[in-house]
Every structure is written in C-alpha cells, then in structure tokens.
Amino acid sequence: MSRSSQTDLFGTQTDLFGPPPKQSYVPSLEKVRAEVNKVLEKARIARDMPWTPKEVAFWKTVFPQMTNWLPEEEREQARAAFWEEITRLEAGAAGGQTGAPAAPRRKKKSASG
C-alpha cells in the first residue's frame, strides 16, 4: 500500500474535525482605557522623558494602535494628548531643559460611557 493511499483512507485532520474555529480577540474597553490613561498620566506628570529611547519608539508605535479599540472621538483625543506630551518631553530633552508638566485635564465623557 502506498503512502498516498493511506492518507486517502484516513482523510485529513480538517476532514475529521472540520475547519479550526476562528479566534478573535476583542479587549475590554475598560482595560484599554486604563492602559491608555496610565501611559498618558505618566507622560503628563513627567518633567523629563520617563522612557528610554527604545521605550519611546515602542509607545509611538503601540499607543496609536491601542487607541484603535476606542470610540473615534475618544481615540482622537487620546492620540492628540499623547503626541502633545511626547512633543513637550522631546523638546525639553532636546533643549536640555526640563519641560513643565502639563496641567491636569479632565477627561470628557464619551457617549459610550
């Protein structure tokens, strides 16, 4: 009996069990908001850049992606606040001066909660 006929005899795994289930991940909005706010708060209270250059590159990539899970208006507000703080902190580092921390802001309530 050839190897190919054995395969035909037993079929394939997908024949036996059907296609694998699609896996998806939808994070909790509360968890996303908590992480977004944690990053923003760290940047807002910092006088100097609170992250290493490698961490700054990480957050510049990851933060906008994290906010993709938020409602549009909230996403845009978070991104604008993040870039404002990064710009302030980088300007302070480039000028050799410590940037004054931004005044605390009250978060607007979104329509979704």
DSSP class per residue in the chain: --HHHHHHHH--HHHHH-SPPP------HHHHHHHHHHHHHHHHH-SS--S-HHHHHHHHHHHHHHHTTS-HHHHHHHHHHHHHHHHHHHHHHHTTSPPPPPPP-PPPPPTT-
- In contact, 55 and 86? CB cutoff 8 Å: no
pLDDT tens, residue by residue, 8-42: 565 565 566 777 778 788 889 999 999 999 999 99
Q: Where are the domains of the chain?
A: 32-90
pLDDT tens, residue by residue, 54-104: 999 999 999 999 999 999 999 999 999 999 999 999 998 877 654 455 555
